[in-house]
Amino acid sequence: MEDREIVELYWERSETAISETKKKYERYCYSIAYHILYNREDSEECVNDTYIRAWNAIPPHRPGRLSVFLGKITRNLAIDCYEKIRTIKRGKGQAELILDELQECIPFSDNTEKITEDIVLKDALDAFLSILPQETRKLFVRRYWYASSIKEIAKDFRISESKVKMQLLRTRNQLRVFLEKEGIEI
Amino acid sequence: MKNIRLWKSFSDIDESYIEEAAPPEQRRIKIIGNKNAGKWGILAASFALAIIVGGELIHRGEISQNDVQYADRIWPVKEVPAPNGQEEIAPERKWEELTISEQYGQFEFRKSSYSTRVSEVKREHIGDFLENIVLESYDEAGIPYTKSAAVFEIKGISEECAVAVQFQGTDQYYAYVNVDYRAENLGDFIGDLNLKENIQFGSVWYHWQSPEGDYSRIEFVDLEDDMVWEILLEDTTISQVEDTEEMMLIDIMSISLDIPILGYENIGLGITEDGYLATNILDTGKVFYIGEEKAQEFVDYVLQNCTGYEIVYITDMEVKE
Q: What is the DSSP letter of B34?
A: S
Please check whether residue B192 is in contact with residue B250, taking contact to mean a CB–CB distance below 8 angstroms: no
A118 has pLDDT over 90:
no
- Is the predicted pLDDT of residue A5 greater than 70, yes or no? yes
Query: How many C-alpha atoms does B146 have within 13 Å on its Cβ side?
Result: 3
Q: How far apart are CA B4 and CA B295, in angstroms?
A: 45
In degrees, rounded to 5, the angle at the alpha carbon of residue B243 between the alpha carbons of residues B241 and B245 is 125
**Of A136-145, B73-82, B124-133, which gets the smallest average pLDDT?**
B73-82
Q: Is the pLDDT of residue B87 over 50?
A: no
Query: Quick one: pLDDT at residue B145?
Result: 92
User: For residue B264, what are the CA distances in angstroms to B177, B201, B292?
Assistant: 11, 12, 28
Find residue B236's DSSP bridge partners.
Answer: none
Q: How confident is the model at residue B26 (pLDDT cuts 50, 70, 90)?
A: very low
Contact B76, B309 (CB under 8 A): yes
Amino acid sitting at position A177: V
Do the Cβ atoms of B11 and A76 come within 8 Å?
yes
| pLDDT the model gives residue B57 | 25
pTM for this predicted structure: 0.51
Of A100, A2, A86, A12, residue with least CA distance to A42: A86
Q: What share of chain A is helix, strand, coil (3-state, %, to 5)?
A: 70, 0, 30
DSSP labels, B293-313: HHHHHHHHHHHHHS-EEEEEE
Average pLDDT over residues A89-95: 60
CA distances from A43 to A169, B25, B92 (A): 28, 18, 11
Amino acid type, A167: Q
User: Amino acid identity, residue A14?
Assistant: S
Question: Which amino acid belongs to residue B41?
Answer: G
In angstroms, the CA A58 to CA A21 distance is 13
Instruction: Kindly report, residue by residue over A141-171, the tens digit of the pLDDT.
Output: 999 999 888 888 887 887 888 888 888 988 9
More reliable by pLDDT, B45 or A105: A105
Q: Chain B residues within 8 A (CB-CB) of chain A?
A: 1-15, 17-26, 29, 33, 85-86, 88-89, 91-92, 207, 244-251, 270, 278, 285
CA distance A14 to chain B (A): 22
List, in order, residues 6 or more apart from B84 with CB less than 8 Å away.
none
Question: pLDDT tens digits for B37-54?
Answer: 222 222 222 222 222 222
User: Which residues of chain A have a CB within 8 Å of the CB of B86?
Assistant: 27, 31
Per DSSP, chain A holds a count of helices (H) and strands (E) of 9, 0
Average pLDDT, chain B: 77
Residue with the larger pLDDT of the pair B319 and A6: A6
| pLDDT tier for residue B235 given thresholds of 50, 70 and 90 | very high
Residue B10: list chain A partners with CB under 8 A: 125, 141, 144-145
